[in-house]
Amino acid sequence: METTRQINVSCSHMDRLLSTELIIKQLLLSCVTLLSVSSSALSSCSHGSESPLLLLTCFSQSSIMKRVRSSLKSKPHPGGRAKRQRCAGSNYPLCPPEDWGNLPHHIVLQIFQHLSLIDRARASSVCRCWNDIFHTPDLWRRFEFELNQPATSYLRSTHPDLIQQIIKKHAQHLQYVSFKVDSCTESAEAACDILSQLVNCTIKTLGLISTARPSFMDVSHAHFVSALTVVFVNSKSLSSIKIDDTPVDDPSLKVLVANNSDTLKLLKMSSCPHVSPAGILCVADHCHGLRELALNYHLLSDELLLALSSEKHVHLEHLRIDVVSENPGQTHFHTIKRTSWEALVRHSPKVNIVMYFFLYEEEFEPFFREETPVTHLYFGRAVSKEMLGRIGLNCPRLVELVVCANGLEPLDEELIRIAERCKSLTAIGLGECEVTCTGFVEFVKRCEGRLTQLSIMEEVLIPDSSYNMEQIHNEVSKHLGRIWFPDMMPTW
């Protein structure tokens, strides 16, 4: 009886019982459930819970769906109001369920924003009101096209018919667009075809994401550049571009600069072999609002750092540099002058300089011979003791350090030097390395409690005469001011 009383409370009482945020969350859950239920499977359901959440959860049950359908067909009472009924033995009025089309516009809009495209399209067929909301421009400002080949990918793909509807009716509303493609060339070519049709758009953010290489790199160079140029020319308000692992080239970057120099703030283009140092320098020379830049080391130059340090340029916030070698011994790495680094830091004192290294040991020779203002260092391959020693001497701004592998010699001295010289260090991760327990405790002690993240594999620590594995847990926890245990697997 109590459950029946709860289910039949009128919708007008809902906002008194639950906040709008909870209503949205529960309706979202119920909508997804409702849309997944086949109409042939509709049957009455019993509710055994007495929780007030049933007021909303019951919307997803098939019995309520039947009542909603019947309410849409029912005629209004001659008196202008539906007859109030009372549940037997209850003081609560029983009202006919409200038409889903009468839900507040802003609530339905927020529900739609959390639905996938296919569920959103299904929901639009519930009623005319929901169909109108389906075409609201706000729903089409942010969209991700998922393009995958069923034969080679388990990921869901955006249906071609829906893509054409989007291009036909909502291209002018798109502002934050990304393309997620699998490793098939056909998927990347489909993305280029869509880009070529976005001629009436005002895109602000564009992202091309390959879930597996090669993807965009296998597309015809002319086809890719032509499609990208369409967006660069027509948008004129691009602020964020992520085009890693693509065949973008210098001429297309010039088109980007010519049409979006006043608005561009973020550019990520690592692993773009057709771009030269002159091409990226053109971007820095003209896009004075650029705040974040990601590129490969071969594009980094003294001229680029000086351009980013000019008085016309805003303060750079984030510079990511990928240092990658595919063929050991065949890649030449140049050296950046210390004066160029100093100019950048003088102009942008809070800039984060992040470097990802995927080199072989013999290729580290040009790096960190002089003071370098790097803040975050990640080594994806083995790095020598000598290299870590140089980091301790010449990287005073270092904030985070991750070493995935090293040789079989303990790194005690190198870590202690890093703790002493790198006063901003707050996070460190060590993988296949070796550190004595005594050396590790000394490192933590000299960091003086500033370590917020300490991810060390248990195999890294070598017990000695001062500490065993149980004792080091207590000693490190004492210096950190919190409970700490070594990791069973890497967490970075």
State the number of CA atoms in the 13 A half-sphere of 362 facing the CB: 6
**What pLDDT shows up at residue 423?**
94
CA angle 8, 14, 18 (to 5 degrees): 130
Is residue 36's pLDDT more than 80?
A: no
**What pLDDT shows up at residue 428?**
94
pLDDT digits (tens, 9 = 90+) for 223-256: 999 999 999 998 889 999 999 999 999 999 999 9
Residue owning tokens 């990640």: 378
**pLDDT interval class at 100 (50, 70, 90):** low
CA angle 321, 324, 327 (to 5 degrees): 165
SS3 40: helix
Torsion of CA 351, 353, 354, 360, to 10 degrees: 180
Residue owning tokens 């495209």: 117
Its pTM stands at 0.76
pLDDT digits (tens, 9 = 90+) for 415-433: 999 999 999 999 999 988 8
- As given in the structure block, the two tokens for residue 82 are 């539906």
Phi, psi of 240 (to 5 degrees): -140, 125
**What pLDDT shows up at residue 158?**
79
Can you list the alpha helix ranges (DSSP code H) found in 79-200?
Answer: 105-114, 117-123, 128-134, 160-170, 185-196
Percentage, residues of the chain above pLDDT 90: 46
Higher-confidence position of 124 and 273 = 273
CA angle 289, 293, 297 (to 5 degrees): 140
**Do residues 136 and 106 touch, judged by C-beta distance below 8 A?**
no
pLDDT digits (tens, 9 = 90+) for 181-221: 988 888 899 999 999 998 888 899 999 988 877 789 999 99
Is residue 85's pLDDT more than 80?
A: no
